[in-house]
Structure 1
Amino acid sequence: MTTTSLNPVERTALLTAALRSAETLREDRLYSDPYAERLVGDIGPKLLAEVRAATFPADRPRSLPSTPDYNAIRTRFFDDYLQRAAADRQMTQIVLAPAGMDSRAYRLPWPEHIRYFEVDRPAVLAFKSERLDGVSPRVDHRTVAVDLTAADWEQRLIAAGYDPSLPSTWLLEGLLYYIPGADTHRMLDRVAALMAPGSRIAADIVNSAALTLPHMRGLLDVFEGWGCPWVYGDDEPEQLFAGHGFDVRAVQPGEPEADFGRWPDAVPDREIKDVRRVFFVTGRRATGAGRS
């Protein structure tokens, strides 16, 4: 398969692969992804070049967040989170939705009790399978080729072996800013309905100012030009997730647990308004809010 089989949103997964490939080549890398280079396709480097040109302009100081540093921190942060969750013997299921060009199933060690699900559109999973031909996952690995807007994706996930009565850990990485607010609420409701008590969730999300501040236009215009604009942000992610039965906390890149010595910018206090933010959200299905 070629990258022409992927639509604009699907192609952003190639940008992530290109960023992870570049990070792997750094001496001070936060992780190593030996499969990222296979997954960048023919346009991944071009997408990364556009983002770099917008982020690091030759004629003026950087005013946008550093996408390479952000992506490196995000990947490492969620690597660590998923590995901690998997270490709990009561946690038997991990779900990546969407999975994109992620290679955690192949590059990280996983306990034998884990069943690992990747949910994404058929074209994405087909491209990824072809690129990783001959590489064996290091976990009981199940793919679910379905669009997350489909009416039956939950049933497709269950048919692949997911058990809603058992604890699970879900990662919604690189998703929520691409879908409208109403779809975000529906997504969180649908995920929550599949979670047993003791289940965990993780996600990344931007704030509303990140979509409107003038100095963010350079990056926003790149994604809009690709046909996949950022359309949703939330200033209070804890409240957003609480409204769907989750007890979470949100940290920003550059805060002690989400820095790894790489975030180049100051981290403004949460009380300060009209500044761009990105949040890493982690938490659990709230007590008493289990699946009905």
Structure 2
Amino acid sequence: MAVVRDDEHRRADAYLRDPYAQLLRTGAAEEQVAYQIGLGAPVGVVVGRGRFGDAAVERGVAAGVRQLVLLGAGSDTRCWRLALPSDLTAYEVDLPGQLAVKESAFKAAGLGPSAPRRRVDADLRGDWAAALAAAGHDAGSPTVWIAEGLFYYLDRGDSIELLSEIGRLSAAGSRVVFDVPHPAFARDPAKSAFLAYMTESGCPWLGFAEHPDVLLPLGAWRLDAYLPPDLVAGRCPWLPPLPQRLADSHRWVWYAHARR
């Protein structure tokens, strides 16, 4: 959510800096975010996973990875705000039409991506892998995959299928970052109104995992996974501790980082 990222950027103690989120901010989005926060929406995860994903991209780039794939890219601004190397190619994948507003906003502001960027109009429920390959993605070279906010809306079978497809396209040295709620989230009375709202809105939360490893093929990846209390305590060695103010809204959401 661009509104959440922009609000965070404006704080003196910001955990995530996103100077471009303001370009994507609208009055309608502000009203929606405010309403969802009132229902107990886990908005802190937007900031937390943003910083987590940024760190994963930076580590991958430092290790020599030169492909970045953003699945369900939506309002993601990483292609502009991260200092990506010029020899890296970034692919943004989303439904046809979903990336047009963002592209128009950046074009109107006279801003270009920091590295070559290719738009892939594809439905993740279809043959998105073919569309990605047609755009130039090389499955024989390592890739950093960012899949933020996707697995909430996929059931267990579809989540496993998506991660299996990512694995098929991932050479040694690849990394994948994703977030998924723990079943305890669904049992939290403080989240019942929000979850009911999502169901009524036609976007029910279907994906819950006791641990992210249940979604990955056995032995195919080396997985690091953290709940917000782990991140607050500084248990992720390559990430600054998550502020408690952000963790409070989403205590039961997994942050996952898997490597090949």
Which one has a bigger Cα radius of gyration? Answer: 1
- Matched residue, 1:198: 173
| 1:32 lines up with 2:17 in the alignment | yes
- Matched residue, 1:48: 33
1:179-203 CA distances to partner (integer Å, 9 max, x unpaired)?
1221111111111111112211111
- Matched residue, 1:216: 191
What is the 5 A alignment of 1:265-280? Answer: 277-280=252-255
1:265/1:27 Cα in 2 relative to 1: closer, same or farther (>3 Å)?
Answer: closer
CA contact (8 A) 1:73 1:260 kept: no
Q: 1:245 Cα shift? A: 2.5
SS in 2 for 1:154: helix
1:143-189 CA distances to partner (integer Å, 9 max, x unpaired)?
10111111x21111111110011111111110001112211111111
Identity of aligned residues (%): 31
- Matched residue, 2:135: 160
1:18/1:264 Cα in 2 relative to 1: closer, same or farther (>3 Å)?
Answer: closer
1:83-138 CA distances to partner (integer Å, 9 max, x unpaired)?
1111222x111111111100011011012231111101112112221222232000
1:260/1:92 Cα in 2 relative to 1: closer, same or farther (>3 Å)?
Answer: same
Q: 1:259 Cα shift? A: 6.2
Q: 1:276 Cα shift? A: 6.0
1:213/1:97 Cα in 2 relative to 1: closer, same or farther (>3 Å)?
Answer: same
For 1:82 and 1:189, how far apart are their aligned partners in 2? Answer: 21
Moved more, 212-221 or 179-188: 212-221
- Matched residue, 1:112: 86
- Matched residue, 2:205: 230
Of 92, 111, 119 in structure 2, the residue corresponding to residue 143 of structure 1 is 119
For 1:88 and 1:26, how far apart are their aligned partners in 2? Answer: 32
5+ residue gaps in structure 1? 1-15, 56-63, 268-274, 286-292
- Matched residue, 1:59: none
SS in 2 for 1:27: coil
- Matched residue, 1:130: 104
For 2:79 and 2:244, how far apart are their aligned partners in 1? Answer: 26
For 1:225 and 1:45, how far apart are their aligned partners in 2? Answer: 20
- Matched residue, 1:263: 244
SS in 2 for 1:201: strand
For 2:219 and 2:70, how far apart are their aligned partners in 1? Answer: 19
CA contact (8 A) 2:3 2:33 kept: yes
Q: Which runs of 4+ in 1 moved over 6 A?
A: none
Q: 1:42 Cα shift? A: 4.1
5+ residue gaps in structure 2? none
- Matched residue, 1:6: none
For 1:188 and 1:110, how far apart are their aligned partners in 2? Answer: 25
SS in 1 for 2:228: coil
Report the TM-score, using the length of structure 2 for normalisation.
0.89
For 2:142 and 2:28, how far apart are their aligned partners in 1? Answer: 38
Return the letter of the residue paired with 1:33: D
CA contact (8 A) 1:204 1:279 kept: yes
SS in 1 for 2:138: coil
SS in 2 for 1:254: helix
Moved more, 73-82 or 241-250: 241-250
C-alpha root-mean-square deviation of aligned residues, in Å? Answer: 2.2
SS in 2 for 1:48: helix
